[in-house]
Amino acid sequence: MMHIFGLDFTSAPSRQKPITCAICDLQATHLSVQACLTLPTFADFEAFLWQAGPWLAACDFPFGQPLKLLENLHWPEYWQGYVEHVAQLGKLGFEETITHYREQRPPGDKLHLRVTDRLAGACSPMMLHRIPVGKMFFQGAPRLLVAGVSVLPCHPTAADRMAVEGYPALVARHWSQRRGYKSDERVKQTPAQRAVRAAIVAGIRSPELQTLYGVTLHIADELAEQLIQEPMGDQLDAVLCAIQAAWAYTQHEHGYGIPLGHEVEGWIVNPDS
C-alpha cells in the first residue's frame, strides 16, 4: 500500500481558504479516499511535508519557472539553485523582479510558459495576479526544498517523501467539457457549476477513470456529496490531484510518467501529457 495525497494549494492560506489535502491509500491500482483535511497555515503545510513516508503527493502549484526567464535574468539554470535564489529574494523581492522584468518585455512576450504549461493549457508560473500561480510557486517550491522532499523531476533524492506537480483541471476536463465548476467569489457561484461538479464526481467514480488513469476510485457517498456541494471546489481539486499522484505512482518504474529533459522547469504529471 502507498499513501497518496492530493493538495489544492493557495498562496495565502487561512481558515476561510486553507490548503486542502485529500488523504488516500493506493493498493495496486485501487485508490481509496479516506478524508479531506485542511491546512490553514503554512506552518501546517510544513509539518505535513515532514510526516514520515513513504508517500507521494501531487501539489497544485508550479514547481518551476520557464527556462527563458532563468536565462534572461541570469538565474542558476538548475532547480535547487534558482529556488534558493528566489527564497533569498523574499516575497517582495521576487514579485518586484518579475514585475520589472515583464515591464521591460515587448507585448506578447511578457509571461513565458514552460513546455508542460503549453501542453496542459496552464497559466504562466510568472503570473502574479488574477490567478497568482507565481505567488504559489514562491510559497510552495522553497518549502519543498527545505523539507527535503524528493521533488520529481526537479530535485530527486533518496527520501521516501515524494512530490509531483499536479493540475486538477486536466482531470476535470474529461467530464466538465471545459465548463467552469467552481469559484472563490460567492456572487459567481451558480447551480450550473454545481451540476458540472456532479458530472466530474460521477466521472471519477465510473469505470472510465481506469481507462484514462489506470486506477479505480473509492469514495464514500457522504464525502462525494461534499465535493459536489462545496462551491469553491477545493476538496474536489484535492481529490483530482490525488488521482494524478496515484497514476504517477503506478508509473514509478518508468520515471513516474515524467519524460526526460524537464528537470529545470518541472513537469505536470498526467497520462496524456
Return the number of other C-beta atoms located less than 10 Å from residue 251's C-beta.
Answer: 14
pLDDT tens digits, residue range 162-185?
999 999 999 999 999 889 999 988
Instruction: Give the model's confidence band at 272: pLDDT under 50 very low, under 70 low, under 90 confident, else very high.
Output: confident
**Cβ-contact 34, 115 below 8 angstroms:** no
Q: Quick one: average pLDDT of 257-272?
A: 97
244, pLDDT greater than 80: yes
30-39 and 19-27 as β-strands: parallel, antiparallel, unpaired? antiparallel
C-alpha 114/C-alpha 204 separation (Å) is: 28
pTM, rounded to two decimals: 0.97
C-alpha 260/C-alpha 263 separation (Å) is: 7
3-state secondary structure of 259: coil
3-state secondary structure of 40: coil
Greatest CA separation for the chain:
52
2-8 and 19-27 as β-strands: parallel, antiparallel, unpaired? antiparallel
Q: Which residues pair with 254 in a beta bridge?
A: none
pLDDT tens digits, residue range 201-236?
999 999 999 999 999 999 999 999 999 999 999 999
pLDDT tens digits, residue range 18-74?
999 999 999 999 999 999 999 999 999 999 999 999 999 999 999 999 999 999 999
